[in-house]
Amino acid sequence: MPKYGDKTAKILDNYMKNYKLMSGKTRTGLVAPVKDMFRNYDTMRKIKLKESDPFFHCKANYEATKRGGLYGAGIANIIDVGKEAKDILVNRYPLKDSLRDYRANLRGQKGALRGKSLRETCPTHHTKYK
């Protein structure tokens, strides 16, 4: 019987079959990177997959950075810091969870800035995020 991480990865792999990067660049606007971040958060909540959080952190940061370059990465960082602060201070999540999310965020940003594909950058199995 596969572990839940394997099941989650299989579902995310299937989700990625129909994935298309949102088009358009907004190096001077705030809207697109913000939409990228919140669209991914909404998708993650709708899918309700255990251990999909690092994948969606990576993917959201990848998309925001891909469309907005360093500006998009900066917007993503602002949103991420607020989310992680809330998780630690209000929701009382362990600090290690926020650190894993932060590493996934950076992974997505670096992959986008280096011209890598989303599949190369953001693995679907949670064990690839340490």
Alpha-carbon distance of 55 to 40, in angstroms, equals 10
In this prediction, residues 23-40 reach a mean pLDDT of 70
The Cα 65–Cα 62 span in angstroms is 5
Q: Name the most confidently modeled range: 43-47, 50-54, 89-93.
A: 89-93
Contact 46, 88 (CB under 8 A): no
Q: All domains of the chain, ordered by start, with CATH?
A: 29-128 (1.10.132.110)
User: In sequence order, which residues have a C-beta less than 8 Å from that of residue 20 and are 6 or more positions away?
Assistant: none
pLDDT bucket at 25, cuts 50 / 70 / 90? low
CA-wise closest residue to 75 among 10, 116, 110, 28: 28
- Residues 101-112 pLDDT 10s: 999 999 999 999
Quote the pLDDT of residue 24: 58
Among residues 90, 80, 82, 88, the alpha carbon closest in space to that of 59 is found at 80
Nearest residue to 122 via CA among 5, 13, 11: 13
- pTM, whole model, 2 decimals? 0.85
Q: What is the pLDDT of residues 55-106, one digit of tens each?
A: 999 999 999 998 888 888 998 999 999 989 998 999 898 999 899 999 999 9
